[in-house]
Structure 1
Amino acid sequence: MGKRSMAAMTAALVAGSLLMAGPQAGAQAAGSGTGGSPKPSGTALDGVDLDTVTIPELQARMARGSLTSSALTRAYLRRIEKVDSRIHSVLHVSPTALRQAAASDVRHRRGRTLGPLDGVPVLIKDNVNTRDMPTTAGSLALAGSPPATDATLVKRLRKAGAVILGKTNLSEWANFRSAKPTSGWSAVGGQTRNPYVLDRNPCGSSSGSAAALAASLAQVAIGTETDGSIVCPAGMNGVVGHKPSLGLVSQSGVAPISAEQDTAGPMARNVIDTALTFSVLSGGKDARGGEAAPRGLEGHPGLSNLRGKRIGLWRLPSLGSDVDAVMTRTAKQLRKAGAVVVEVKPPHQERLAELEFPALLSEFHRDIDAYLATREGPQDLAELIEFNRTHPEEQTCFPGQELFEQALAAPPTTDPRYRKTRAELKDLSRRSIDETMASHRLDAIAAPTNPPAWTTDCARGDNDVIPSSTPAAVAGYPSLSVPAGSVGELPVGLLLMAGDQQDTELLSLGAAVEHRLKAWRAPRFLPTVGGDAAR
């Protein structure tokens, strides 16, 4: 994207965000939390509420000199020091964060900023290579020297002037190690907790990124997803998460599961920040050459107008009656705003569930071997399995590495059986979305992102069979989770998905849905709540 088009896009997004922020931010400040409970203290900075401020608002303040990136970065560092001992979401803080912020301040004073992320603190999931901090994927096997170079997406963030604040905890190896994993746990970082209720799970594998955002420890964060690992943590921690279309964000320098499904993506407390971060991660363009940020955010009408939009509601009653009630309330709100909501049931879901895991096993063996060969430590999957066998610290929450062992024995990706499986997966997953959208003339399909967070339990493992993320994840299509409501204290997200390369349209729709629902609220860091939300 050229400087002129980037400036125009940024100006449009600033206008839309500032028009939206007034009444909504005031409502949130007046009563965040159930029953108007007060927000956690320590999120204010010279009149800036870290819980609710958007990137365009921050840039407006920095442009007129009433805020500096250094002050903003220090505020987030103080917040990490004060709060993170309760949720264990941040593994490392960058030793150069304040130096990066000072460089941004110089650019702001000279009027030579590098775009909307200049001076904005960003946390990075710890399976994304950073040259100046460890990148472990949560495993002690990679806890030695940092990678030699940044991942491509980190290079793009640095080039855009973002302040790389630190690295976040994750489900070890992105939840692809044990048959009974506990999301948010890694041997390097221990257990990340859900900021809403501390004994509840944050979902995974981008657990630390989502929990850190919910606790206002950074302005935006980067997650990664193979199937559900951005959107489920976003939903369960009450934030926004965007899984981009496959290929729009480079996976170079990211610890993999499958090149056929993996993508990094942006997470934030609102859609506007998510969209601006996506524009940087994707290099400013979508696959069709258009701007990789949502159109229709240039003013208040574009943000709030859902009239005539057609949304297919996939209810998923298996997630429980409480979640279904949130979906019913959501559909009512969208209809009141003029949207047409029709109930749908995308086909082929049982077959997708049957085929996906065997394909991922073959792909993981191929892709993890290639990644490990670029790092110090185990050089292939067989050596990684042996490392885990001989290091008891890797077994302190759950001992198993059954998925590693199954991947080692899986057919190679040159095997005709594997090729047939992946071809059928691609065909059925795309048809499940394309045919549903075409038959109902939809702008998007909506579904619950997550159930209420279950109680974290290393002995039991996760209770997370959540089918809504699978069609878009397997197809390589975009999905976006926005806050929809809650079951008691526990957030529930609305997952929006659309056709191939429709990221900009989906983000625009997500901004309108977010503005209508106004479902975000700050966490209260409760130690526990009555009853068991585990299904």
Structure 2
Amino acid sequence: MIIRSSETSTEKDMDLLTLDAKALQALLTDGQVMSYDLVKRYLAQIVQHDDKLRAMIKTTPIELLEATAISLDEERASGKIRGPLHGIPILIKDNIATHPSLGLPTTVGSLALLSSKPSKNAHIIDQIIDAGLIIMGKTNLPEFANARGSKMPNGWSAVRGQTESAYVRGRAEDGNTPEGHWNPSGSSTGSAVGVSAGYAPIAIGTETDGSLVSPSNRAALYTIKPTIGLVSGEGIIPISSTFDSAGPMTKSTYDLAVLLDVLVTEPASESFTTSLTGSWSDISVAALDPAVWKLEMDNDNPADGARDQINREIREAYKAIEEKAKKFVNNIDLISPDEFKIDGESCEWTIVQADMKPQLNAYLEGLEESDVRSLAEIIAFNEKHADLELPPHHPRQDTLIKSQNNTTSAEEYERNLSFLRQMGREKGVDLALKTHGVDVIIGPADSELSSMASATGYPICAMPLSYLDLNGRPFGMAAIAGKHQEHLLIKVMSAWEATFPARQPPPQLVNPVCSL
């Protein structure tokens, strides 16, 4: 048996805030560190910071972490390497089912599911384990991946409370809107904050509309929501299978590419790492006006300078890309998601409300053990435990109730989906790409560009750019491309990473490096 403790390890400085999986794998390969050491260091980081940040629902029991790490270290010593992520720690969003044998709950942030027990792992959990990754724990999220109630600040759950940004000077409550400048965003809130805070180098989140892109944007991370169906949704607590997808959240494009290699349902003909060219030379780009494509925030005060800074730095980024890209078209017209409506109602949310009840009920009915077996029982649980589940600062479950009472017919459903796809694709992304002769559309990540991805089912990615002078909050860019264009978006992220300054760790968490 191979065990290496921190007391007997080779002395090697490690900054968990900046180290990515690629750098860690190099240390593991060189024998300068072992996976057993890594889990100890990452656990210590969680203990040090998570009372404040509340990014974790639960960490994996230490005895299981140690046993997994020792087993993977022994495999390495015998010459068995499962892949480029062998022995690397990872965080998992707590709407992704894990069997009780992993020592972790699957709560989607709700006390109603705190004691539930899935009968098996989600498909992607088995893929992650088979690739030799070490699951450090499950991360916090707004309940039901932000589908419990409307107008609720992101990142709060009854199970763990409010997740706080590792970057922001202040707390989430300092902003009065779900997407205010102080909010870490969601719903993959804990996964994003955990990676930025050095709890693990990589994480898995999920997105229905913006839930990978937005929190990654606010944690200075790279992410991608793949084309719908590319990654298995089996065992992920659903909002709507029409829009839901899991995806990687990382500090670098290399880590994103190798983790996406693990997650895809069918192995790609070539690794996504082949797209890490670091060059814009064969990419044609169309850019959205940041003054038009932006989130409306009630607390977005022009006097604080945040909006001016975002617009200025995005336009400067556009100039840098224009100098390097094969083609660059600025301030293009792109249909607004505000037009994705029938009779004044959002087609996307009509579909979500129709999907959530039957799909969530199917998940609940399939659990090995659970105190609730239907959406109706969850709503009743919340009402019974309103002091915990529906407190004055997070009092709503209207989204759940609307889904429970939904009467959308099959004909209405198909009408809404057809209209949404037509507007998002033929009159939206496809039209813009064809009209301007470009490969990709880029714009602010703080925008409704993620709704374009939901409407189309196409992949979207996010890339870090800068940090607000106002409070330190990161902000960056998003890019969308056509169906199954993940290789192209990874090429875009790689070129971005080679063009702009390296992402910075959270200044408030910077401390003396861990010494092994």
Deviation at 1:525, TM superposition (A): 3.1
1:28 maps to which residue?
none
- Distance, in Å, in 2 between the alignment partners of 1:258 and 1:92 is 26
Q: Which amino acid aligns with 1:445?
A: I
Match of 1:346 in 2: 334
Instruction: Tell me the alpha carbon deviations over residues 181-219 of structure 1, each in whole angstroms, 9 at most, x when there is no partner.
Output: 120000001000011114121101000000111111101
CA deviation string 1:204-244 (max 9, x = no partner)? 10000001111111010010000000000000111112111
Counterpart contact for 1:45–1:75, Cα < 8 Å:
no
The partner residue of 1:427 within 416, 422, 425 is: 422
* RMSD (Å) for aligned C-alpha atoms: 1.8
User: Which of residues 244, 255, 259 is equivalent to 1:262?
Assistant: 244
CA distance, structure 2, for counterparts of residue 493 and residue 500 of structure 1: 23
In the alignment, what sits opposite 1:383?
377
- Alignment counterpart, residue 250 of structure 1, candidates 232, 238, 245: 232
Q: Determine the C-alpha separation between the residues in 2 that align with 1:362 and 1:284.
A: 29
State the match for 2:36 in structure 1: 70
Paired residue type of 1:437: L
Q: Distance in 2 between matches of 1:264 and 1:208?
A: 14
Q: Deviations over 1:390-447 (max 9, x none)?
A: 11200123111111111122224x5211210011112221221111111112121101
1:474-525 deviations in Å (ceiling 9; x for gaps): 2111111010122212211210111000112211221111221125111123
1:283: how far off?
4.3
Q: CA deviation at 1:345?
A: 2.4
Q: Which amino acid aligns with 1:323?
A: I
Letter of the structure 1 residue corresponding to residue 337 of structure 2? Q
Q: Secondary structure at the match of 1:264?
A: strand
**1:276 to 2:250 alignment:** no
C-alpha distance 236-128 of structure 1, shift in aligned 2 (>3 A):
same
Distance of 2:265 and 2:361 partners within structure 1 = 28
Partner of 2:443: 447
- Whole-Å separation in 1 of the counterparts to 2:403 and 2:474: 34
Kindly tell me the number of residue pairs found equivalent between the two proteins: 459
Identify which range, 503-512 or 117-126, moves more after superposition. 503-512
Residue 130 of structure 2 corresponds to residue 159 of structure 1: yes
Q: 1:470 aligns with which of 448, 451, 472?
A: 451
Contact 2:112/2:372 (8 A) holds in 1: yes
When the two structures are superposed, what TM-score results if normalisation uses the length of structure 1? 0.83
Partner residue in 2 for 1:485: 466
Moved segments of 4+, more than 4 Å: none
Shift of 1:448: 0.6
Letter in 2 for 1:254: I
Whichever residue aligns with residue 389 of structure 2, its letter is E
- Does the alignment pair 1:178 with 2:157? no
SS in 2 for 1:317: coil
CA distance in 2, matches of 1:500, 1:521: 32
Superimposed CA distance per residue, residues 57-102 of structure 1 (whole angstroms, 9 cap, x where no aligned partner): 3222212211211111211111111111221101111121221111
Question: Within 1, Cα distance between the matches of 2:39 and 2:505?
Answer: 20
SS at match of 1:250: coil
Show the 5 A alignment for 1:405-424: 405-412=401-408, 414-424=409-419
Partner of 2:166: 195
- CA distance in 2 between counterparts of 1:265 and 1:307 reads 27
CA contact (8 A) 2:287 2:442 kept: yes
Matches within 5 A, 1:57-136: 57-95=23-61, 96-131=64-99, 132=102, 133-136=104-107
Q: Which residue of 2 aligns with 1:368?
A: 360
Residues 339 and 329 of structure 1, relative CA distance in 2, 3 Å threshold: farther
Question: What one-letter code is carried by the residue in structure 1 that aligns with 2:458?
Answer: Y
Corresponding position: 1:520 with 2:512: no
Equivalent residues of 1:284, 1:291 under 8 A apart: no
1:308 to partner: Cα distance: 4.1
Structure 2 letter corresponding to 1:507 = I
Q: Which whole-Å CA distance do the structure 2 matches of 1:116 and 1:370 have between them?
A: 36
> Match of 1:525, SS?
helix
- Residues 89 and 192, structure 1, Cα contact 8 Å, conserved in 2: yes
2:319 is matched with which residue? 332
Name the CA distance, whole Å, in 1 between partners of 2:377 and 2:400: 11
Within 5 Å, which residues of 2 pair with 1:42-61? 46-61=12-27
Shift of residue 339, structure 1, vs aligned partner: 4.8
Unpaired segments of 5 or more residues in structure 1? Answer: 1-43, 451-465, 527-535
Query: 1:429 is aligned with what amino acid?
Result: G
What SS does structure 2 have at the residue aligned with 1:253?
coil
Match of 2:204 in 1: 222
Kindly indicate whether the alpha-carbon contact (under 8 Å) linking 2:354 and 2:407 is maintained by their aligned counterparts in 1: yes
**2:193 aligned residue (211, 222, 225):** 211
Are 1:140 and 2:124 matched, yes or no? Answer: no
- Tell me the percent identity: 32
Q: CA deviation at 1:163?
A: 0.3
Mapped to 1, the partners of 2:362 and 2:488 lie a distance apart of 35
Do the aligned partners of residues 515 and 52 (structure 1) sit closer, same or farther apart at CA in structure 2, a change above 3 Å counting?
farther
State how far apart, in whole Å, the 2-side matches of 1:387 and 1:255 are. Answer: 18
CA 1:363 to 1:316, structure 2 compared with 1: closer, same or farther past 3 Å?
A: farther
**Distance of aligned partners of 1:211 and 1:45 in 2 relative to their CA distance in 1, 3 Å threshold:** farther
